[in-house]
A and B are shown apart, each in its own frame.
Chain A
Amino acid sequence: MAAEKKPEIVVSVRDLKTAFGTHVVHDGLDLDVRRGEILGVVGGSGTGKSVLLKAIIGLIKPAAGTIEINGKNRAEMTAEEDRLSRREWGVLFQDGALFSSLTVAQNIQVPLREHFHMSPSLMKDLALSKLTMAGLELEAAAKFPSDLSGGMRKRAALARSLVLDPDLLFLDEPTAGLDPIGAAAFDGLVKELSKSLGLTVFLVTHDLDTLVRVCDRIAVLGDQKILINAPLKEVMAFDHPWVREYFHGPRARAAGAT
């Protein structure tokens, strides 16, 4: 995978428009995600952070505009290309979205079963390795998702999204619903994994701590567009009422942003 040269811009969104009926969420939105970076996407409630993520991964069809992942236009792909392209990225949904009828290890093996014909022993080994990578105890392997805590479920889901060795990872509010210690540990895990595996991470969040500690660049959504996409320092200096309030409010000060 590392042998072939890949474009420096992993995700490129141009002139994106998404709308539900007459309600326009994004209009003329441009966004670039560079290889190897952790991009944090923030924005007030209802600015369409999750909608943007869903449009990029193809769960919502945009009304207009192009979305390219690894230089391939999603709209021009055949069904088979689209299916194969899904191996190039992993998605972590907000509450993990683990299959409730399967154990954690079986959940992690689902993508392997779907795309390869591996020996059971290798699949088991891979599942347990990914489980360890995601910082879970091995006892969790035979448990069902309903028996896990929120933080453990997220880690298990992260292991599942990493099992096909994607180079791009989408995280939807990874720290939502975690206690501060669990959230900080998860932040650390994301940062560490992205470094050691060379992942590009697209991270939708509300959590100022995550933005400050993990993200290389921050994209701010507002007015149906990306207001600014830059490192934290530049974003903080950006002159926009919402951005100023968000990054200079009491919570931002507590997170050490200012």
Chain B
Amino acid sequence: MAETLAQNDFMTVERGSPSALVHLRGDWTIDNAVVIDEAMPAIVAACGEGAVVDCSGITGMDTTGAVLIRRYLAHIEEEGAAVLTGVLGAHKTLLEVISCCPPPAQTEPDHTPWYLLPVIQAGGATILALRSTARLLGFLGLVLIRLFGALFDPGRIRLVPVVHQLEVVGLQSMGIVGLISFLIGAVMVNQGAIQLAKFGADIFVIDMLGIGHLRELGILLTAIIIAGRSGSAFTAQIGSMVLHEEVDAMKTLGMEPIDVLVLPRLMALTLSLPLLTFYADVVGIAGGAMMAWIQLDITPANFLIYFREVISIDHYWVGIIKAPFFAAVIATTGCFHGLRVQGSADALGMRTTRSVVQSIFLVIVLDALFAIFFTSVGL
């Protein structure tokens, strides 16, 4: 009996001449892979300079086992020679499939050093923002050219999609726009009355409601709801058409995607957003009137008399004049991102998110510009 140099459940290393003899046994399968792999350093050290590996004791083998045997041989060979003997017929094909060690290859993408990440991300985001703005402006120009072209050539305007979009973006969003405006009007009076009551000025809550809601809140809330509801829908609809190559098909059939997809949405939204804003104004004031009745005991009739006295029509116009501009921003951004979808369904989700975030951002920026403008012209 030769001297045993190392031993575990799956192999025995014996001293032989000239080199060590390794007897493998048991199941060399994936279930035992962790144990067998962890034993490797000790076994390889015991082998010293080269070994004869005898596989005849192996009862079961799968490809993982074959990979492990190959790894053992490769590590033994670093010190000397390794010879494989006694391979059973059943295992021969497996070892042949896993015959050669794959050369080292990269399995993960390149990592950037952590200290560079913020710089790279900031730079990337800046470039992306600039490019995206430039592209959006370009797209806006393109849409405007097509739009004014269509005014001189009315045959290009597709009425049926316009009417359909009017229903979808206008009529069908009346529920949510109305509910939110009503609640905001009521909350404004409720909270405002509490604060103003401290000065005994709770009647001025009607001034606050009228100016705040007509000038800013009514239009802003409506625009934000529509950006979330219809802007995202524009991106998703057009984007999925791009993914299904419907837009390419349109181009080959001689249809201009901007005429077919963008203009109807733009027109419908530009028409319906002012109408929705008017509706939101009315419902919001009604909500405020209701709250004033409940909380401050001002009857709706008194509310209206006072309202007509203190709120000039200018506030209403200031609010409503912004609506078509916001509508154009929302529709253009939504359609722009829809047409820019590329590749996979992944990109569609990402574009939809970006479309909503960007259109809300642009609406608020535009609103701020309008506020400065109206203040400077004294409205």
> Could you tell me which A residues sit within 8 Å of B by CB distance?
1-3, 100, 103, 105-106, 109, 116-119, 122, 124-133, 138-139, 141-142, 144, 146, 162, 164-165, 193, 195-197
Query: Are the C-beta atoms of A132 and B102 separated by less than 8 Å?
Result: yes
Contact bitstring B54-74, A, C-beta under 8 A = 1, else 0: 000001111110011001000
Query: Are the C-beta atoms of B60 and A197 separated by less than 8 Å?
Result: no
CA distance in complex: A198, B27 (Å): 16
Q: Please, which residues of chain B bring their CB within 8 A of the CB of A119?
A: 37-38
How extensive is the interface on chain B, given as a class?
20 to 34
Contact sample, A vs B, 23 pairs, CB 8 Å cutoff: A1-B29, A3-B27, A103-B107, A103-B108, A105-B107, A119-B38, A125-B71, A128-B102, A128-B105, A128-B107, A129-B63, A133-B63, A133-B97, A138-B105, A139-B105, A141-B105, A142-B107, A146-B343, A162-B63, A165-B62, A196-B93, A196-B97, A197-B63
Q: Among A124, A126, A128, which residue has its beta carbon within 8 angstroms of that of B64?
A: A126
Query: Are the C-beta atoms of B29 and A142 separated by less than 8 Å?
Result: no
B258 at the interface (CB under 8 A from A): no
CA distance in complex: A146, B182 (Å): 48
CA distance in complex: A218, B124 (Å): 55
CA distance in complex: A138, B107 (Å): 9
Question: If A165-B29, A196-B97 touch, does A105 touch B63 (CB 8 Å cutoff)?
Answer: no
Query: Are the C-beta atoms of B59 and A3 separated by less than 8 Å?
Result: yes
Question: If A2-B90, A105-B108, A139-B105 touch, does A117 touch B34 (CB 8 Å cutoff)?
Answer: yes
- Closest chain A residue to B62 by CB distance? A165
Query: Are the C-beta atoms of B98 and A118 separated by less than 8 Å?
Result: no
Query: Are the C-beta atoms of B98 and A129 separated by less than 8 Å?
Result: yes
Main secondary structure on A side of the interface with B: helix
Q: Please, which residues of chain B bring their CB within 8 A of the CB of A1?
A: 27, 29, 31, 60, 62
Query: Are the C-beta atoms of A129 and B105 separated by less than 8 Å?
Result: no
B33 at the interface (CB under 8 A from A): yes
Query: Are the C-beta atoms of B98 and A133 separated by less than 8 Å?
Result: yes
CA distance in complex: A197, B108 (Å): 28
- Closest chain B residue to A118 by CB distance? B34
CA distance in complex: A146, B346 (Å): 11
Query: Are the C-beta atoms of B93 and A106 separated by less than 8 Å?
Result: no
B271 at the interface (CB under 8 A from A): no
Contact bitstring B63-96, A, C-beta under 8 A = 1, else 0: 1100110010000000000000000001001101
Query: Are the C-beta atoms of A106 and B27 separated by less than 8 Å?
Result: no
Query: Are the C-beta atoms of A165 and B60 separated by less than 8 Å?
Result: no
